[in-house]
A and B are shown apart, each in its own frame.
Chain A
Amino acid sequence: MIPFHRKRLGLLGFILFSCLTNFGQERQSYEGPMQVGPYLGKAQYQYIISAQDTLFDGAFQVQRSSLEALLEKEDASFLFKGSFDKGAPTGSWGFQFGEFQTDSRSEVIDYEYRVLISGIQEEGTGTLTDGRPDGPWTYTVNQIKDSKIQNTLFASALTFATGIPQQNFRIENQEATLVGRFLRNGLAHDEWTSYTINALEDVESWFFEEGVLRRMVVVKDGKSQEVEVFTTASDEQKVIPLSNGYLEVVRTTLRANGTSMALQTGIPDLLAENESYYRKMDTVLLQLGPSNLRPNFMVKVPYFPMDTAQLAQVKTISADFLAAKAIGSALLKNSHLNIVKRSDNEALYNYNAVALIDERFLKPLEKFVSYAEQDILQYVDRSKFIETLWPNGKPSPELQIVADSSGTTRTFALADFKADDFEANDLTSIGRLSAYARRGLEQIKETLSDQLTNEERQQQLNGLEEDLIALNESLVRQIDSALTTLPKDYKVPIQEIKRLADASLSQYATMKNADEKLSYGTSLKTCLEQLTQLTQTLIALPQQKEEIEVLYQDSIWNPFMATVMDEEVKRRITAAYFNVLVPYFLSQVKTELTCDTVERLNNQIIHTNQRMLILREEDTRKLERKLRREKDAGAILELLHRQTTVKEK
């Protein structure tokens, strides 16, 4: 009955039972917390117990609003109010959804504190009969500013007769207004027109004949364009709801007709927006009882029925496609394969074959399968639809695959597939295509499995390789962005870092022995991490130099100018740093960089920068005297270091 609510009602039932207030058909009230779908609020409702079921009966209300949340940041409020008749939503109903902020200004009016709010308020109201809309229904979305309606973002007005839309309707948002009408049975009829708000001349009209969309007329910038949609009168026809699936059918029909005009956004957008608001209300109502709070616009489409054999074919196609897609995606994303293909032409050939099958088979099939899932394959002319999926012609069963970096191609083919297997635009040929994709990819997976799985440590390697690729990518990204901002003399050293990373990865890829590979890969991971650190150190170096330059300045009052001036102090130390050490670091990175030296180089720079900060405060007269004639970077580094050890003693 109300399954999601069973727990709470169970508890409630227990309480009621123990209170001996269970009086059968007599209406009772509940007041307390309640969860409706994602909405948790305070409920007040009446109910009856009938055949040990709790049925809503009478007034119902659940709501939430929090002043605390509003004042803190913002509040999402809601109010669902209506009534039930023995469990069925019946009578006048209202749904409110609000998202509000406040600037916390308050005023006191008639002994009430009022806080002005701004935000969005959605409200849908109308009458329900047994969960179905009956009579006029409106849904409006208002933008609220300081507790006043500032803008109406969306409004729709529909009329229903026990769930079936009737007469005229009107849907508008900020861009366009759509008006149209229905027959008594809910079928779209006559002209549906959408006017653009900002350009009144622009009009989009759909012409229905008892639910069949015959033609569309679009007037834009004074130019009128007309296209036919479902023209053939002899087609078998079927009534379906005006849903996204229907719009997809219209789209495909337009394409299959060879029309250049794409489906405009005006009418479909308005319809979809309206649909989404009704779905929002329906979702709430479905939690409480039987509900069909939908627009239920009905249309008629040509019907191309499928027999049992065809339905089975479609099922096989979907299954083949899903299996093929899973293998294809896994292989394309396989990090080991991505590395191996750098050095191994056989792997490259297989990888490219997967990529080609993905591109030429799976991508078009994906759309076919999505139609099958939406259950709209029988509403489109399938042969025309299939033709549109391969605008450049279907692939041949003999695929030409690029097999090495110079562009040489090799042929990929499967036994039992003939050249004309894919020719026809029917389900059989699509079935062959999907079978080809599945078997082709399975075969490639089999071929690659030696390379991909025959080592026990494959899993380990995979994780490692993913790390390696991620590390390398982030390193390259940092270097590329730094190259645009760093001074000229940093560019060669920093590119050297990139080159080393790339060369090491290539070497890793060429390794065959899994043991060697694992140990080399592990050390390469450390190396890439250290290279990243070194890159960051180098990127930070220009600014650190500036900081050191500022640090080694004293403010001096010049009596002749009566002005305070900056004086460089400890010039021998700063000169050694700027003129000898920094260029030395850069040239070391340029010439000495290997995975073995990278950590030492990085630490050297970091430690030297730290020493420079410390030396500013220390008595360095001795050091400065020694630096006087020293031009050798190694000796200077040693002198800076010695100053520490002396101090430490």
Chain B
Amino acid sequence: MRHTTSIFIWLMAFLWISCGGAYGQEEDKEVLPLLSKYKDPSTKVWFNTYGNIRIGKRFFWDAQTHFRFQETEDTPFIGQVAQIYNRHAIGYIYSKKTNFSLGGVVRINFNTDEDSVDRNVVPEWRIWHQYQFAMPLYTAMIYHRIRIEHRWTQGFAENSEYIFRNRWRYMFRAKIPLNDHKLRPKTLYVSPEAELIMQSGKAVVASPMEDLRLTTTLGYIATPRLTFAAGLMYSQGQDLSNGGIYKQGWTMRFHMYFSPDFRRVKNKLPEIHLTD
């Protein structure tokens, strides 16, 4: 418990410093429309891998790599690579139902605007921390995930400067077994989820709602250490430059979850008795 508290204090101090160090940015003048405008939805395909590598009795390495494709004028539907996304963290298992993570993200953004003369690739940096809680409900499990990200982004234009934003994310997710009375190997499950992503920062003037994601996923637990899932996501959110304009998207998502444990057998035991 003391351990958790100290991590938390450390985290808060870090947030304080990083927020204080944020700097302003010159803005273009934008005029809010009288009525909100919804852009046509774009289609995307995401291939996501989630690794959860046990490195100690209470610690794990959270390793996620996502490949995100986005439709373009020339290549509709799957489109071309838009982002390659590397998210890593050290996780702490507080209990079987509660865990925390802290780490960083490097995202490589590709310019999908084929007419653009700007740079093709720019990096994006984040520091993130996450608090996840699980609750059993009848045969299903319910998960609450709070994820906070500190994000430095820049445009594709040459010499564009980094802008700093905070992201505030809450996700509600359920996993409901379909062909069994509990989540275990050889089980199909359906997972409805809703995530609201809010943002703040000097650059955020009239568009705090960055994204609202509504997803339904169908998953299959192949073994206790390997799960596959696929789903469809609808999302909408305010354009950063103009809060009156809403982007929309339809995303097909494919996931692989794996959780290897390379520890020696004697260190593994006891596997589930965390509080012994």
B225 contacts A by Cβ under 8 Å: yes
6 more A-B contacts (CB under 8 A) besides A564-B272, A567-B223?
A555-B272, A557-B96, A558-B183, A559-B60, A559-B99, A560-B257
B115 contacts A by Cβ under 8 Å: no
Interface residues of B (CB under 8 A from A): 50, 52, 60, 91, 93, 96-97, 99, 132, 134, 141, 143, 175, 182-185, 221, 223-225, 227, 257, 259, 271-272
Number of interface residues of A (CB under 8 A): 14
Interface residues of A (CB under 8 A from B): 554-567
B259 touches which one: A554, A555, A559 (CB < 8 A)? A559
B52 in contact with A560 (CB, 8 Å)? yes
B141 touches which one: A555, A556, A562 (CB < 8 A)? A562
> When chains A and B are docked, how far (Å) is the Cα of A558 from the Cα of B185?
10
Given contacts A559-B99, A562-B134, contact A567 B259 (CB under 8 A): no
Shortest Cβ gap from B226 to chain A (Å)? 10
Shortest Cβ gap from B269 to chain A (Å)? 9
A566 in contact with B96 (CB, 8 Å)? no
Q: What residue in chain B is nearest A558 (Cβ atoms)?
A: B224
Q: What residue in chain A is nearest B229 (Cβ atoms)?
A: A560
Report A-chain residues with C-beta under 8 Å of the C-beta of B223. Answer: 567
Residue of B91, B97, B185 with most chain A CB atoms under a 10 A cut-off? B185
A-B contact list, 16 entries, CB within 8 Å: A556-B224, A556-B225, A558-B221, A558-B225, A558-B227, A559-B60, A559-B259, A560-B52, A561-B175, A561-B183, A562-B96, A562-B99, A563-B184, A564-B96, A565-B183, A567-B223
Report A-chain residues with C-beta under 8 Å of the C-beta of B182. Answer: 563
Q: What residue in chain B is nearest A561 (Cβ atoms)?
A: B183
Residue of A557, A558, A560 with most chain B CB atoms under a 10 A cut-off? A560
A557 in contact with B272 (CB, 8 Å)? yes
Report A-chain residues with C-beta under 8 Å of the C-beta of B225. Answer: 556, 558, 567
Report A-chain residues with C-beta under 8 Å of the C-beta of B134. Answer: 561-563
A560 in contact with B50 (CB, 8 Å)? yes
B141 in contact with A554 (CB, 8 Å)? no
B97 in contact with A562 (CB, 8 Å)? yes
Given contacts A556-B225, A559-B52, contact A566 B184 (CB under 8 A): yes
> When chains A and B are docked, how far (Å) is the Cα of A561 from the Cα of B224?
9
A561 in contact with B272 (CB, 8 Å)? no
Report B-chain residues with C-beta under 8 Å of the C-beta of A567. Answer: 185, 223-225
Shortest Cβ gap from B185 to chain A (Å)? 6
Say what secondary structure dominates the interface of chain A. Answer: strand
Residue of B182, B183, B257 with most chain A CB atoms under a 10 A cut-off? B183
Given contacts A566-B184, A567-B185, contact A561 B271 (CB under 8 A): no
Report A-chain residues with C-beta under 8 Å of the C-beta of B132. Answer: 562
A556 in contact with B97 (CB, 8 Å)? no
Shortest Cβ gap from A569 to chain B (Å)? 10
Q: What residue in chain A is nearest B50 (Cβ atoms)?
A: A560
A557 in contact with B227 (CB, 8 Å)? no
Report B-chain residues with C-beta under 8 Å of the C-beta of A554. Answer: 271
Q: What residue in chain B is nearest A562 (Cβ atoms)?
A: B134
B221 in contact with A561 (CB, 8 Å)? yes
> When chains A and B are docked, how far (Å) is the Cα of A562 from the Cα of B272?
11
Shortest Cβ gap from A560 to chain B (Å)? 5
Shortest Cβ gap from B100 to chain A (Å)? 12
> When chains A and B are docked, how far (Å) is the Cα of A531 from the Cα of B108?
73
Smallest CB-CB A-B distances: 7 pairs: A562-B134, A556-B224, A565-B224, A567-B224, A559-B52, A560-B257, A565-B184
Report B-chain residues with C-beta under 8 Å of the C-beta of A564. Answer: 96, 272
A556 in contact with B183 (CB, 8 Å)? no
Report A-chain residues with C-beta under 8 Å of the C-beta of B257. Answer: 560
Q: What residue in chain A is nearest B53 (Cβ atoms)?
A: A559
Report A-chain residues with C-beta under 8 Å of the C-beta of B227. Answer: 558, 560-561
Shortest Cβ gap from A492 to chain B (Å)? 31
> When chains A and B are docked, how far (Å) is the Cα of A562 from the Cα of B184?
11
B97 in contact with A560 (CB, 8 Å)? no
> When chains A and B are docked, how far (Å) is the Cα of A566 from the Cα of B272?
11
Report A-chain residues with C-beta under 8 Å of the C-beta of B175. Answer: 561
Q: What residue in chain A is nearest B62 (Cβ atoms)?
A: A559
Given contacts A556-B224, A556-B271, contact A563 B60 (CB under 8 A): no
Shortest Cβ gap from A623 to chain B (Å)? 15
Shortest Cβ gap from B5 to chain A (Å)? 22
> When chains A and B are docked, how far (Å) is the Cα of A560 from the Cα of B257?
8
Shortest Cβ gap from B154 to chain A (Å)? 33
B224 in contact with A566 (CB, 8 Å)? yes
> When chains A and B are docked, how far (Å) is the Cα of A557 from the Cα of B175?
16
> When chains A and B are docked, how far (Å) is the Cα of A560 from the Cα of B62?
11
Shortest Cβ gap from A617 to chain B (Å)? 11
Shortest Cβ gap from A302 to chain B (Å)? 81
Q: What residue in chain B is nearest A554 (Cβ atoms)?
A: B271
> When chains A and B are docked, how far (Å) is the Cα of A559 from the Cα of B221?
12
Shortest Cβ gap from B141 to chain A (Å)? 6
Shortest Cβ gap from B223 to chain A (Å)? 7
Shortest Cβ gap from A484 to chain B (Å)? 30
B272 in contact with A558 (CB, 8 Å)? no
B271 in contact with A563 (CB, 8 Å)? no
> When chains A and B are docked, how far (Å) is the Cα of A589 from the Cα of B236?
69
Report A-chain residues with C-beta under 8 Å of the C-beta of B97. Answer: 562
> When chains A and B are docked, how far (Å) is the Cα of A558 from the Cα of B177?
15
> When chains A and B are docked, how far (Å) is the Cα of A555 from the Cα of B52?
17
Report B-chain residues with C-beta under 8 Å of the C-beta of A557. Answer: 96, 271-272
Report B-chain residues with C-beta under 8 Å of the C-beta of A558. Answer: 183, 221, 224-225, 227, 259
Q: What residue in chain A is nearest B60 (Cβ atoms)?
A: A559
Residue of A559, A563, A566 with most chain B CB atoms under a 10 A cut-off? A559
Shortest Cβ gap from B62 to chain A (Å)? 9
Q: What residue in chain B is nearest A560 (Cβ atoms)?
A: B257
Q: What residue in chain A is nearest B257 (Cβ atoms)?
A: A560
B183 in contact with A563 (CB, 8 Å)? yes
> When chains A and B are docked, how far (Å) is the Cα of A612 from the Cα of B149?
51
Residue of A558, A562, A564 with most chain B CB atoms under a 10 A cut-off? A562
> When chains A and B are docked, how far (Å) is the Cα of A565 from the Cα of B257?
15
Report A-chain residues with C-beta under 8 Å of the C-beta of B96. Answer: 557, 562, 564
> When chains A and B are docked, how far (Å) is the Cα of A562 from the Cα of B271?
13
Q: What residue in chain B is nearest A556 (Cβ atoms)?
A: B224
> When chains A and B are docked, how far (Å) is the Cα of A297 from the Cα of B223?
87
Shortest Cβ gap from A571 to chain B (Å)? 10
B185 in contact with A555 (CB, 8 Å)? no
B99 in contact with A563 (CB, 8 Å)? no
Shortest Cβ gap from A182 to chain B (Å)? 78
A563 in contact with B141 (CB, 8 Å)? yes
Shortest Cβ gap from A552 to chain B (Å)? 14
> When chains A and B are docked, how far (Å) is the Cα of A560 from the Cα of B185?
13
Report B-chain residues with C-beta under 8 Å of the C-beta of A562. Answer: 96-97, 99, 132, 134, 141, 143
